[in-house]
Chains A and B, each alone.
Chain A
Amino acid sequence: MKALRSSKYESFPLADGARVCVIGGGPAGSLTAFFLLKIADRIGTSLEVDIYEPKNFGACGPRACNMCGGIVSESLVQLLAVEGINLPPELVQQGIDSYVLHTDGKEVKIRTPLNEMRIAALFRASGPSDAEPGRIAGLDSFLLDLACSLGARHVETSVTKVTRRDDLPLVIDSKGEQKSYQLVVGAVGINKKGMQLFKELGLMYREPRTTRTAVMELRLGRDSVSKYLGSSMHVFLLDIPGFEFAAIIPKGEYATVCVLGDDVDKALVTRFMQTDEVRGCLPESFSAEQIVCRCMPRINVGGARNIFDDRVVIVGDFGVTRLYKDGIGAAYRTAKACAVTALFHGVSGEDFRRHYWSTPRRIEWDNFLGKLLFSGSFFFRKLAFLRAAMFAMTAREQKTLTTKPRMSMILWNMFTGSTPYQDVLRQGLMPGFLSRFVLYCVSSLGGLSGRTALTEKKKS
């Protein structure tokens, strides 16, 4: 990922009364506006912030939804709370306090260390297609309202062109209205039209690498969700070609299914849903008619290039996001870094290179390590003895509640995205962990599994 380098460093501070345009009202855009206004107020600067977002997040289904699993990680829940953003109970469809790992027809539950609800499962819009509009509160609407409560103006039209006039970015919307700004922030997500706007601006922006995922909402009813899924997120390690990772997330009367892999398609999703492990998590009476909403969004798996220039910066998925996990956390970090840079340093390309770029670059580096970890998970999917060893070690840790549940913590951190991948890698390379894991592998190869606390679930 490169930045355009200015031949001489010129800083453009955001003066009192400056106008900022945020294109995209999802988490990255709303949080950028929120932090710009919050920090500006602290330092006694007034800003005019416009958020261009044509979607009505209060509606239901894919047309209103920004399509993701809808998980706010453990670390992000805490970070937002410290920033003064407490997720209200009506927003959180389910507080998650554990993970259940399913593999080889078996399952093991991994609990949070502190026995409290620290992961939030929620909807991005007002719920799946069949939900009653307005009944379910969504994250995107909450964050957009939060930004507006500080003075941001929600412009409910789309932007059709961004150009420059007298060195300032000029934004033209679908109604033909034109307005110049001191700063334009791109927060459009993985969106072809949005990306084209910034290419036409002369940013030399290059799109991120993406892959297709699958997200489905199953209407199971509250009782079934409680009975079959509880307050756990269910994750699956299965040997299916093209399959990387999948999760089923309880959310009130619904369950969200997310399937990640190498360009996921309908055939892979069908194969996944038909496995014994998945069928064991759903009622026996479950039928395809209960899939009330589905989409196959593309996600960012490799950072974009040239994500800033004079008076223009890109945040969130549109630029760089965490690999497979904690996308909303990455949106928060890039949004905050953008706001801090703009207010305390300036909005020239060089300002962003010196003070903003380190944040997306840190995420990119961590993603590289994450790719190594996910590449390593390939061996676990393919080699039964590795899976058995991992499973046995986790089960024993959870049964005996050892003071150093090393495997449980590694799996927890991988599943939740709560810690950087470099911390997971470091935990995995610790001699104490490796030596114990090797012993479990030897035991697994020898076929000894008597001391584990496995719960075998077979479809009757």
Chain B
Amino acid sequence: MRIGAMGKIYPDGSEIVKQGEVGNSMYIVQKGEVEVVYSDGERQIVLSVLGPGDVFGDMALFTKSPRSATVRAKDQAIVLTIDKQGFLKRVHEDPSFAFLILKQMSERILKLDEEVSRLKGASVSSQTEKMTNIQSGM
């Protein structure tokens, strides 16, 4: 393993967490990038690309739900695993410890809101255009 790097090396394309699995760890990217990929059974959609300092898998620390997406290394990535038990114990001792995770979750929600607005806006525009075409054709 690489001298000086904390965490585990994941080769290009290797899965770190798998959609549908139940997890008990979260992860912090130390070096390189990872892709967050959602699969609906037919196609794979890259939701985001994360880099050093970014957290993923954090929802598993607060819920028992299965992983909502797959995260895999993009080129070689080094990722540190954060134990659920150690994390929750520390949060209990010092609630402010969770601040950075909450901040990243909030930023993720903001991005999702923007994406939903954009998609909804595009959907409304195409429906309006459809109606206009129908009316002009009458």
Contacts and interface: CB of A to CB of B under 8 A. Distances in A.
A joins B in a complex? yes
Interface of A: 39, 42, 75, 77-79, 81-84, 86-87, 89-95, 97, 114-118, 120, 231, 252, 336-337, 340
A82 B2 contact: no
Contact of A95 (B3, B28, B52, B94): B3
A413 to B, nearest CB: 12
A95 B3 CA distance: 6
Given A78-B82, A82-B28, 14 more contacts: A81-B6, A81-B30, A82-B101, A83-B97, A84-B53, A86-B28, A97-B1, A116-B80, A118-B81, A120-B6, A231-B1, A252-B3, A340-B94, A340-B96
A81 B80 contact: yes
Nearest to A113: B83
A395 B132 CA distance: 78
A89 B2 CA distance: 9
Contacts of A82: 28, 82, 87, 90, 97, 100-101
A90 B5 CA distance: 8
B101 A95 contact: no
A94 B4 contact: yes
A302 B52 CA distance: 39
Contacts of A39: 96
Contacts of B83: 78
B31 interface: yes
> For A93, A115, A117, which residue has the most chain B Cβ atoms within 10 angstroms?
A117
Chain B interface size, as a band, is 20 to 34
Nearest to A120: B6
B40 to A, nearest CB: 31
Nearest to A344: B96
A95 B100 contact: no
B99 interface: yes
Contact of A77 (B4, B80, B87, B97): B80
Contacts of A91: 4
Nearest to B1: A117
Contact of B3 (A81, A94, A115): A94
B30 A86 contact: yes
Which secondary structure dominates where chain A touches chain B? mixed
B67 interface: no
B86 interface: yes
A93 B2 CA distance: 10
Contacts of B80: 77-78, 81, 86, 116, 118
A255 to B, nearest CB: 14
B8 interface: yes
26 contacts: A39-B96, A77-B6, A78-B80, A78-B86, A79-B86, A82-B100, A84-B53, A86-B6, A86-B53, A89-B5, A89-B31, A92-B6, A95-B2, A95-B4, A95-B5, A115-B8, A116-B1, A116-B7, A116-B80, A117-B1, A117-B5, A117-B8, A118-B6, A252-B3, A336-B94, A337-B94
A75 B84 CA distance: 12
Contacts of B96: 39, 336, 340
Interface of B: 1-8, 28, 30-31, 52-53, 80-83, 86-87, 90, 94, 96-97, 99-101
Instruction: Give the 9 A-B residue pairs with the shortest CB-CB distance, closest first.
Output: A116-B8, A89-B4, A92-B4, A81-B28, A89-B5, A78-B82, A84-B100, A116-B7, A77-B6
Contact of B7 (A94, A117, A231): A117
A118 B87 CA distance: 15
Nearest to A362: B93
A366 to B, nearest CB: 12
A39 B95 CA distance: 13
Nearest to B28: A81
Contacts of B87: 78, 82
A231 B6 CA distance: 12
Contacts of B99: 42
A117 B2 CA distance: 9
Contact of B81 (A75, A87, A114): A114
> For A39, A75, A86, which residue has the most chain B Cβ atoms within 10 angstroms?
A86
B123 to A, nearest CB: 38
> For B1, B4, B100, which residue has the most chain A Cβ atoms within 10 angstroms?
B4
B52 A116 contact: no
A86 B31 CA distance: 10
A81 B4 contact: no
Contacts of B2: 89, 95, 117
A36 B42 CA distance: 50
A291 B74 CA distance: 43
Nearest to A119: B6
Nearest to B98: A82
B132 to A, nearest CB: 49
Nearest to A336: B94
A30 to B, nearest CB: 18
Nearest to B100: A84
A430 B94 CA distance: 28
Contacts of A84: 53, 100
A46 to B, nearest CB: 19
A42 B97 CA distance: 13
